[in-house]
Structure 1
C-alpha cells in the first residue's frame, strides 16, 4: 500500500504522458516499474581507500579526463523544526597534472537572512609513498578552512586541500542546514569530470508531497528506490562521462544527467491535500498573489508628473515604450542580483536608483502600465540557465522576469537589467527559448524566436601587395543587429582582447593601427570599425603566398571534437560578407588562383560562396557565409562539423604569386 501511495503522489500529478527526447528522457513510469526495487550501493567509510581506487590511473569510460569523481553521495532529511539538512561526501582521484586544480574546493551557500549554513566540514588528501604502498593522509585543519562573502546573498566555504598531485585522492564531507525544503537543490549526477558513482536520497517531510523529474541519456541506467516505511526516495547513477565545454552549446544544465525537485502539495490540519502549482494556471495564481511579484505590479511609483505626462502624450505607442525602457535602463542600476521576483521592492529600487533584476523589470512594467501600454510579466529562462519544459509547471525552470509588451500585432521583450538591447530586438540570451506570460486571460507558454534580426557583418578591404609579398591595407567593418551588440559589449569589456578576438587572430604577424569606432552610442546604426593593417610576407621558395581569409568570422573550424553532447545554438541567424580589392605589383604574376565555388548543406541551412577575379593587376574577392537556421541538434553534429572543416579549408586557400620572367 505504501508503495502504491508513493507512486500516486509522485507520478499521477505530472505523468500524464511519457516525455521522450532524442538524447535525454524524463520518464517516470519507466523508472517506477523497472528500477524501483534495485539495490543501492554501499560505499567505503570516510578515509578508507580501496585497492581499486589506489591503483586507478585513468578513467576507463572517459580516458581524456584529468581527474575522476570516485563517488558523490548526499542525503537530505529534516529536524524537528523542519529545517532541510543535507549531508554530503565527495571523493576525487587526481589523474593528471592539469587535474590538480580540482583540489581547490569551494562550497557555495545562501547566507542572507541565515537561510543556509555549512558546518561539520572534514577533508583530507591521501598520497602513497614507498612505491605506492603506504598511505600518507594529510587532514585539512579547521583553521585552514575559511569563508568568503561573494555578494549580499551568497557566500562560499574554501577548503585548501594540501599536497595535491597526480595520484592524489582527495575527500571531503560537510553538512548543509537550510531554513526549509524550499531550498532543496536539484541533484546532478554528472559534471565536467567523469563520475564513477553518484547517489542522492531524499526524506519527504510528513504531510508534504514532492514531485521530481529525471533527465538522463537513454543509454545510461538509473536506480530509483523507495525505502519502505521511511518515505525516502533513493536515486543512483554510475559511470557517467564528463560533459566539457563545447562551442555554441546550449545550457550545460540541459544535458547533465540530473533530477529536479519541486514541492507539489501539502495536507492541511483538518485533512485534505492542497496542490501547489500543479498547472500553469496555478503558477499564475500563486505568483500574482505573492508579495515579491504580483503585489509589486500595482505600486504608485512617484515619477515626475511632467515627464510621465509627456510620455503619455506621445502619439506612437512604440515611442512611449522606448522612452520608458531607456529611462529605466539609464537611471536604475542593476546590483547584480537575479531572480524572478523583487528583492527589496520596486519602490525601494526607485528611491535608491538600484535594485535586482526582478526589482528593475517589475518597476519597468509598472511604468509601462501607467503609460497605458498593454504589458505583462514574462518569466524567462536564459539559455545559460536551461530549457523550459511546458509539460511541467515548475517555477524553478525560470531565472528572470522581463516585460512583455503588445502593440498591435507586434510583440516586444524588454530587459532593463541586462546588457543593453534596443527595444526593437529580443534580448540575445532568451532567443530560441520558451517563456511564460503571467496573466490569467492571455497568459501561457510562448516561444521566443528571431528570424529577421541577424548576426550580420560586412567587411570591405582595400590592400596592396609589395614585391616581397607583404600586404598593407585599410579595412572597414560594419556590424549590424546582434553582431553590433556583441562587438560593442566586447569593446567596452576589454579593448585589447577585442582586437585579438576579431582582427589579429587571422594571420600570424598581422598588425593593426589607427582603429576608429563609429556609432558606439547609436543603436539604430551599424557599428563601424575602421583600421589599417599590415601582414608580413609568407614565402615558399620562389612563391609568395597571400592569405585571403581576413576578418570573415571563420578564422578556423570551431568544431574539432569527435563527440558532441549538446545542440549547436548560434542564437540567431548568421550573415557574413567579405569584399576585398587587392592591388598586385607589376613584378609578380598569379601562379595559382583558388577557383570560384559555392558550397551548401543538403537542407540549405548553411551556404558558402567564394568568387575571385583578376584584372589589370587587381585581385577582387568576395566571400559570403549565411545560415537559414540558428539551431542544429547534436545528432546533426557530424554534418555541421564536416561542412565547417571543408569551409575553413576553402577559405584558407591561398593565392600563389611568382616573379615574372
Structure 2
C-alpha cells in the first residue's frame, strides 16, 4: 500500500493530464452496459458499479454543495440486495439536507425497459436524533438490472466534506471526484492507493482538483481482517490554512502539537475539560482518600462505567457536553470519556486525553498530522511512569488492560506542553485458554466426559461478552462446533464478577459414535480454538490481524474400554513458522487403557502482512489437518 501525501497548492503532480471519460447522460444506458454479464476484473462479484461521480462545491453562503451520481448493475441473485438504496445524512441542527433525488432502472432482460422511479418510491426515514436516511425502493430488481440515482447534499460548511472512496465492497469501473476549494482557503489531501492501480489527478484554475481511478476490484470481507479503510483506494482531505485579515496565509495542524492545540481550543473538546462535575460530594471525598493511585483510578473508572450509558455514538469530542451528559446519565463516547478525564483529574491523578483510532477505523500514520485519523477519545492515566488506557464506553475492560480495540495501535497523547504519538503495545496480556478434559469411550466408540476451561486476559473478556450477548450461540461458537452431534449440558460459568481471576467454564459433554465397518473413529480436537482452517481463499488483499497474542493449551485424559484397542495412533508432532511466530505441538501417549493427548498453540505476534498469507494459510492448513486427525479403534 502506497500513501501519497500532497498539498493542493504546492504539488508536483505526476499526472496533470486527466483523460476525463465521456460518460453517458443520466438515465441513458448504453448497449455495452446492457450486455455486461460479469465484471471482467472481478469475476466473483455479485454486482458492479459502472460509474460513481461526485462534485464538492460551494454556494455564495459558503455552504458545501455535494452532488453525486451512481450507476450499478446487478450480476447475480445475491446482488439483488444492492438495489436497496439508503443515503444517510446528518440532521441535527439542520446540518445537512438531501434534495433533487432522481433514480432510474433498466432491465435489459425484460425488453430493455427504462423506468423512472416515481417520487412515491423515494422516502425519508429518521434513524435517531442526529441521523436520517433517504431510501429509494428500486422496482423489479433482478440479475441484469441497471440502477442509477443522483442527489444533492447541502451542508452548512466544508467541515462536512467527506473523504472520497474510489473502491468499496463492489468492483468499480469508473470513479471520479471534483473538489472546488473556497476562496482564501487551503486544503491538504492524501491519497491511499495500491502501487498497481494508477490514479489521475488534475489541478485546474480557481482551486478545482480532479481525481479519477478505473477498474478497481471489490474489497470483500476476509477472515481476521483489520480496518477496511486501510486498503480501500481513497483520498482524504483536511483544512490546512486560510488567508488572514491582514494578508498572508495562516497555516495550522501541520504538526501534532498544532493538531493538539487546535482541538484543545474547540468548545466540544478542550472546552469540556476542567469542568466541575456535580457528583455526590461524599463519593468524591471518599475516592480522594484512597491512597494507592491505581485503586483510586479504578474506583473512578468503574464509577463512570456503571453510572453512565453510552448511546452508541462514537465521537472525538463532546456532542451534548459533559454536564448535560452527567444529568442525563447518557452520552456519546466523547461526552463520557471527557467526563471521565475530568473526574480522574479531580481526584489528583495525572490524566491526559488520548486520541485513538480503533482497529476497525484504520491505522495512524505518525508522519501525517491529520486529525481524522482518530475516531475516539480515551483517558490516559500516568502512575509511576506507567500509562493506563481507559474507555468507559463499549465493552467493559478492567483498568489494568488496554482496550482490545486499540491494542498495538498508535494514539495522540494530548498534552498542553508537548503532545506526542505513542504506541499502545501489549506484550504480556494475551488471549489465553487452558482446557482440561476427563473422558471415556464406550464400547460403541461414543465419547462422554467433563471439560474444565480457564479463559484468561482477553480470552476472558471475549467469552464474557459472548455469554452475556447470547448464551445459546455461546455454546455453538465455543463448544458444539467441534464435532457433529456434540452435546453440552450442566454448563456453569464461574468468576463472572472478579476481573483478576480467569473465567472458568465447567460442563459435561457427549459425542455420538462414528464407525466405518469394524472400526471406531475418534476425533479428539475438542475446544482447542482451532475447529477448522479459516484461511481457504487462494488470494489475500489485507493483513491478518488476530488483535493480540494467543496461547491455547489442551490436555485430555481418555479412558478406553477393554473391548476396544488402538489400531492407529497418530504420531507426535511439532510445527514452527520459519520466524517462530506461530508454534504448534501435539503429543499422544497410550498406556494400558488410558490415552493422554496434549495440544499447544502459541502466537508470538498478532499481525501478519498480506505478503505472509501463504505461510499462514499453509501452516493453518497443516495444523487443522493434524488436529482433526482421527484415532482408529477396533475390537481385538
TM over 0.5: yes
The 1-side partners of 2:401 and 2:603 are apart by 19
- C-alpha displacement of 1:606: 0.2
- C-alpha displacement of 1:41: 1.5
Q: Does the CA contact (< 8 Å) of 2:320 and 2:335 recur in 1?
A: yes
Which of these residues, 209, 213, 216, is aligned with residue 186 of structure 2?
Answer: 209
The 2-side partners of 1:478 and 1:180 are apart by 54
- C-alpha displacement of 1:304: 2.1
- C-alpha displacement of 1:225: 0.5
Give the match for residue 583 of structure 1: 559
Q: Does the CA contact (< 8 Å) of 1:107 and 1:158 recur in 2?
A: yes
Secondary structure class of the residue paired with 2:13: helix
Q: Does the CA contact (< 8 Å) of 1:464 and 1:471 recur in 2?
A: yes
The 2-side partners of 1:380 and 1:198 are apart by 31
Q: How many aligned positions are there?
A: 634
Q: Does the CA contact (< 8 Å) of 2:121 and 2:138 recur in 1?
A: no
Give the match for residue 586 of structure 2: 610
- Please say if 1:54 is aligned against 2:34: yes
- Structure 1 runs of 4+ off > 6 angstroms? none
Give the match for residue 381 of structure 1: 357
Q: Which sections of structure 1, spanning at least 5 residues, go unmatched?
A: 1-22
- C-alpha displacement of 1:286: 1.1
- C-alpha displacement of 1:27: 5.0
The 2-side partners of 1:448 and 1:315 are apart by 27
Give the match for residue 362 of structure 1: 338
The 1-side partners of 2:306 and 2:121 are apart by 44
- Please say if 1:277 is aligned against 2:257: no
- C-alpha displacement of 1:270: 2.6
CA offsets 1:523-567 (integer angstroms, 9 cap, x no match): 111111111111111111111000111111100111111111111
Give the match for residue 20 of structure 1: none
The 2-side partners of 1:232 and 1:77 are apart by 9
Give the match for residue 541 of structure 1: 517
Give the match for residue 85 of structure 1: 65
Q: Does the CA contact (< 8 Å) of 2:13 and 2:201 recur in 1?
A: no
- Please say if 1:146 is aligned against 2:126: no
Q: Which sections of structure 2, spanning at least 5 residues, go unmatched?
A: none
Give the match for residue 68 of structure 1: 48
CA offsets 1:428-486 (integer angstroms, 9 cap, x no match): 00011110000132421011111100000111111111111111111111111100100
Give the match for residue 379 of structure 2: 403
The 1-side partners of 2:271 and 2:311 are apart by 22
Q: Does the CA contact (< 8 Å) of 2:5 and 2:189 recur in 1?
A: no
The 1-side partners of 2:265 and 2:54 are apart by 35
- C-alpha displacement of 1:275: 1.2
Give the match for residue 3 of structure 2: 25
The 2-side partners of 1:148 and 1:600 are apart by 54
Q: Does the CA contact (< 8 Å) of 2:3 and 2:190 recur in 1?
A: no
Pairwise CA RMSD of aligned residues? 1.3
- C-alpha displacement of 1:107: 0.7
Q: Does the CA contact (< 8 Å) of 1:405 and 1:412 recur in 2?
A: yes
The 1-side partners of 2:6 and 2:179 are apart by 16
The 2-side partners of 1:367 and 1:317 are apart by 14
- C-alpha displacement of 1:269: 3.2
Q: Does the CA contact (< 8 Å) of 1:32 and 1:224 recur in 2?
A: no
Which residues of 2 match residues 635-646 of structure 1 at below 5 A? 635-646=611-622
The 1-side partners of 2:235 and 2:32 are apart by 29
Give the match for residue 421 of structure 2: 445
The 1-side partners of 2:418 and 2:566 are apart by 65
Give the match for residue 552 of structure 1: 528
- C-alpha displacement of 1:268: 2.4
Secondary structure class of the residue paired with 2:451: strand
- Please say if 1:532 is aligned against 2:508: yes
Which of these residues, 102, 114, 138, is aligned with residue 137 of structure 1?
Answer: 114
CA offsets 1:105-155 (integer angstroms, 9 cap, x no match): 11111111111111111112210257xxx4212222111111122222211
The 1-side partners of 2:3 and 2:255 are apart by 21
